[in-house]
Amino acid sequence: MLEELKKEVYEANMLLPKYGLVTFTWGNVSGIDREKGLFVIKPSGVDYNKLTPETMVVVDLDGKKVEGEYNPSSDTDTHAVLYNRFPNIGGVVHTHSSWATSWAQAGRDIPCYGTTHADYLYGSVPCVRNLTKEEIDEVYEKNTGILIADEYEKRGMDYVATPAVLCKNHGPFTWGKNAHEAVHNAVVLEEVAKMAARCEMINPQNKPAPQELQDKHYYRKHGANAYYGQNN
């Protein structure tokens, strides 16, 4: 079942080592079939060079395995919550990519310091708080997803416009309209995280980019008046 989606999710997973976003098995990509209400995700703890489309695991929106030889990623429940709460996304990525994880470990939002950031991610990339001991003990991975979605609501943020988040002392999740775009956003986030750290090193009193410049670049690439690329 879902052979086409398995192939797509497999290929998206294989982009993580290609872009240098994972060490060993520290990452996972999923993609969803919204009509069937099922998503496909990387198996847990399996080496990237042993992955094939057939090893991908099919799960439902409660995170329960529907098909597959392997256990799904241990982060499956986080993906499931994100698909439930963010109805317009088609793919989710989790990595421990080095710079984004360093910001997560530092417990800080990534300010929008420039147009590289503004081209893809509207405003700051939020860093959500730690889960409490009770939230961890109850259902850690599920509560991680709930915390992310609640944070977007609390801040009044549009998850489509800012498809990247940091979990404090953990690492980043990104998403997109499909698995490939979610990986694309994971690459962007890592680059943006790197440059934000370095520009604070160069200028410790650094300020975010002016709002009008952020808006210009975001809307140059997104929405009805976009004129970047070939689709306009």
Nearer of residues 223 and 230 to its own copies, judged by Cβ = 230
Nearer of residues 36 and 53 to its own copies, judged by Cβ = 53
- Residue 70 bears catalytic tag: no
- Residue 215 bears catalytic tag: no
Say whether 125 sits in a helix, a strand or coil. Answer: strand
Report, in Å, the least distance between residue 119 CB and its own copies: 8
Nearer of residues 66 and 197 to its own copies, judged by Cβ = 197
Nearer of residues 140 and 152 to its own copies, judged by Cβ = 140
* Structural element, H or E, at residue 164: strand 164-167
3-state secondary structure 39-76: EEECECCCCHHHCCHHHCEEEECCCCEEECCCCECCCH
Identified catalytic residue from 19, 33, 48, 119: 119
Q: Which of 183, 161, 139 is nearest to 28 (CA)?
A: 183
Report, in Å, the least distance between residue 43 CB and its own copies: 7
- The residues of the shown chain that bind its own copies, judged by CB under 8 A, are 23-24, 26, 43-46, 70-71, 74, 96, 98-99, 101-108, 113-116, 130-131, 133, 136-137, 140, 169-171, 184, 187-188, 191, 194-203, 206-207, 209-210, 212-213, 216, 220, 227-230, 232
Report, in Å, the least distance between residue 87 CB and its own copies: 27
* CA atoms within 13 A of residue 199's CA, in its CB half-sphere: 17
Helices 3-18 and 179-202, interaxial angle, to 10°?
20
List, in order, residues 6 or more apart from 218 with CB less than 8 Å away: 118, 119, 122, 161
> Which residues are the active-site residues?
119, 228
